[in-house]
Structure 1
């Protein structure tokens, strides 16, 4: 019994269940639990930037060959573009086949304050520009990038720092050893923070159910079910085929990161497990250099769950307002989302900003339709976050194997729960 209680999976599952019960039976009390989830996520964010920096710098310095850094980065971006485009196409096709927007009544679904929210997202989308995104990628102040927790800016600075350190040759070894020890310190901090994961999951789930209520799901239930089923199929068909190319079991990989997926479910945030996923993938046998490059970049460019949701949401709103989109218009939407889904990376509420910018560009679907999605967006954010996390995990494993930087012997030992010598060298 004590062994089960000490199991993180059991504790997080229990916390999620208690959060749902409190949200349903005492919604006013549950709505006040939001700080518990927010504090836990903030504690995770506190160590994300330093861990990304140290992991990337150590990975690049250990890689040694700067041409290899460019090759891995190029492959990663190509992989991200192909997979997210497939996700967009799947979302469009399923939304057209199932037609979740048919029969939805547009009156009475908007919550209080929804008009102001729509106006805010519209204003933000008008301000979002592809060139601004590129300008934003390079930090004007490296310290500011760490202070604000901007993953993309930290990634760029870390790559440049790692390249600079590599050029020092043997004279930089003392600094590399110091960074290696510092990295262990931050992961020890992370292990301490993770003991609070059940509290964070409880707070996040209680707030969601208590604030929006299970009844909020009913009017747009068909859309929610369609989104969840589509993401399920994307994971177990598309991502499964990606791993099967190298004879790696998706199911075993999901079992390996099940605790992280439960934390994402409870907190509705994929960022809450970013450093944990990096650590686990290294333990699985992926090289530090590949993990350090692919995971942070993936959190900005490989948002599979978000892209599926965005494509389905646009078609859903067209169906609600009985706008018959032509093939040319849907292809235009696809092209716009291929750009805007990356352009809003790292922006709070980016899903709605991207939706607003897409609707503004298409000019055939009323922007007010965003109000319909405000009430259920929180419930669908779990599916988006989980799919994003799985997508980035699969991307890292696939790219590591493609680069011959995945220790397959170690991977099989981890999957089979065999004892692993912590001092054993990786077999790439």
Structure 2
């Protein structure tokens, strides 16, 4: 059987190697605290579960909702954007519900990218940006996200020829994996860059509500002229712990959204009506307190991890948003080797190389376990590092 060449390299990813490692550790009977995944460990608010439950008992809830979903969910998305960002949206043409934001992030390439087309992609970056592009046989033009530039792409360093050839630019703030945020003036630069080079901007804002410090992360659409060049993707997975319910949405440029809608109208029949009803209710404001509690929980976990690791000599930046910490590898190893060794000791992280070439030298810690588990993980890390690191006049050396 001949598999399409566009997917032949997918099974060789670091994620596959980590899966094999996890299975090996479990077979050996070693306890493992998994901080590698990006899935909320908390349940949705009780109000959301109740709405889904009640709606699911309605016999009329099992029809096709079709690509555009319901007027209720589109209006709720528009109202939420007005309340949260003071951005006006037409719910008829500038809002489209999605089966999770990844649904839209992957299929947007189908609408605009032909074989050989260039797309500007952050590196390190969420894998769907590269994988979705690979499935349409586009060409990735990496935009390095470096610590010295606060993990923002340096637009001035993008080669003029590449910029002119690029059809799209993918962005993601608050960022996965680096946990960086972007100021509004950066988005204003992006709008100018996109207009100059005729580029579609796709901003993934899935983590906008998981912020720990003020000011709140802005929307790309708050930048003047943003709707003329791009769209923004949102997800209810992280804000309301609805990851398995699969609900997100895209907002912004009506022409871009129409093209994505055309793709999706040919491949799916819409989102389950109870999920749409629950999402509309969540966005109406009834779950704002639950979202606030989420932020408090993740912040507490962040502080436990960073303070505990610092005591072992592993210092890392304090993340301002998202459910992650992006930390330099504290030993003289590559990111996968370090992650593998630490996993065998009992704590699994994601090696930075899983997110791209410029992720090497870092690991991503997911704050997706209860505080007691985070504390246990910190103790394992301390013991692990104490056995492997010695301090002397020359600094920290790996043994």
TM-score, with structure 1 as normaliser: 0.22
**Structure (1/2) with the larger strand percentage:** 2
TM-score, with structure 2 as normaliser: 0.23
**Structure (1/2) with the larger helix percentage:** 1
